[in-house]
Chains A and B, each alone.
Chain A
Amino acid sequence: MKMLTIDDSAVVRRIIAAAVVVLGHECLEAESAQDGLKLLEDSEKIELIFLDWNMPGMNGLEFLKTIKKDDQFKHIPVVMVTTENMPESIIEAVKAGVSQYITKPFSIEELMKKIIESLGGEVNQ
């Protein structure tokens, strides 16, 4: 499967990409929401998106709302990976259509568990 991580931190993108690869999948990286939208349009069949909230330019929530309005992309599950840990933020993200929510800091085990859950338990397929 092909996945996409959008985060302005290169370190966070590398952590997520490493976990995705360990689980047998491919991971594309974008350092901004705008770049993420371009990759979505240009790449074939991205099946899971990891999304930071606080980024320069378009933020993660705006990105989420944008793709959930688009028939081409609204079915793609989105995992928010963010330092936004207040309950009101989590509720706002869930209302906007996020599938899973990971607050930073996170362990690699938590991340991999969320990936597996997001895929309905399906790995290495």
Chain B
Amino acid sequence: MIAENENTKYQVIPGQVFVAALLETVERMSGFVLTEVKNDSESEPDHEIIGAMVLQGEKAMLLCLETNQQSAAPLVSFMTGIETAALDAELLNDGITELINMVGGSARAHLEASNYKFLLSVPFTLVGQSIKILVKKRTDSFMARLVCDQIDLSLRVYQL
């Protein structure tokens, strides 16, 4: 039994909570229904946009949404109603970062129900060609790849 005000200490990252939050966020904001791809890391595309935020609690986590401009364009287009050709890089970056912001907020609400509390940092964006985040080898991590048509998103959570 969990004592009141005592944070739950997850032995493993509650990755499926973040996946559920991402699925809900993308469907509500854009209408796209993503499907999780299992065991397909070899064909994962290069990433050009990473939206990220730090979750600071009993254990800190780094939450990242990684994708490229080709995937971001239809997502942001359906979110905003702006034609893909009219979307600039700034809007694409902002769209991915806002999505991870919403995923963090939604996951926090779900995890609070299990008494796992954390604060959310301001979301931030990493951009460039073939970018990736490297963490120490023994850091626990979770990864899920979610796709829908040309949209290809990688959700990563690192325990810091």
A54-B122, A105-B28 as given contacts; A11 in contact with B98, CB under 8 Å? yes
Contact partner of A11 (CB less than 8 A), chosen from B91, B104, B112, is B91
One digit per residue, 1 when the CB lies within 8 angstroms of any chain B CB and 0 when it does not, for chain A 51-73 equals 00010100000000000000000
Cα of A107 to Cα of B31 in the assembled complex, Å: 9
Contact of B105 among A11, A15, A83 (CB under 8 A): A83
B44-80, CB < 8 A from A: 76, 79-80
Q: How far is the CB of B78 from chain A (nearest CB, A)?
A: 10
Number of A positions contacting B (CB below 8 A): 18
Assess whether A104 is in contact with B79, with CB atoms less than 8 Å apart: no
- Most chain-B Cβ atoms within 10 A of its Cβ — which of A84, A103, A105? A105
Contact across chains for B25 and A105 when beta carbons are under 8 A apart: yes
Query: Known interface pairs A9-B98, A11-B98, A85-B109. Does A105 touch B24 (Cβ–Cβ under 8 Å)?
Result: yes
Residues in A whose Cβ lies below 8 Å from that of B82: 14
Q: In the complex, A105→B105 CA distance in Å? A: 9
Give CA–CA (A24, B80) in the complex, Å.
17
* A residues with CB within 8 A of B: 9-12, 14-15, 18, 54, 56, 83-86, 103-107
